[in-house]
Amino acid sequence: EWHHKGAGVVCYGGGARGTRAAQHLKPVLSALKMVHAGDVPIGLEPDSVREGVFAGDERQRRAASMMLDELASLTRVLSPLRS
């Protein structure tokens, strides 16, 4: 059920923003025959959440948008392989 599907990783953490954990997931995605579409690293800054809602900065919104666009493209391209 995992083969030929796209995957994006949203990671969060301190200084490295969870990017080390995201790097460790890439071989797992590959073993599952999934295609990695990108990462969106998020820091744990106090102003990241406003009134209970995540409020990322422009860089994070841009990274998320690019990853979601890539996932949409991969879905179209990989779909025939799942048939």
Q: What's the pLDDT score for residue 71?
A: 96
Q: What's the pLDDT score for residue 46?
A: 75
Q: What's the pLDDT score for residue 22?
A: 94
Q: What's the pLDDT score for residue 79?
A: 94
Q: Give dist(CA 75, CA 12) in Å, integer.
A: 25
Residues of the chain with pLDDT under 70: none
Q: Is the pTM of this model over 0.95?
A: no
N-term to C-term CA, the chain: 11
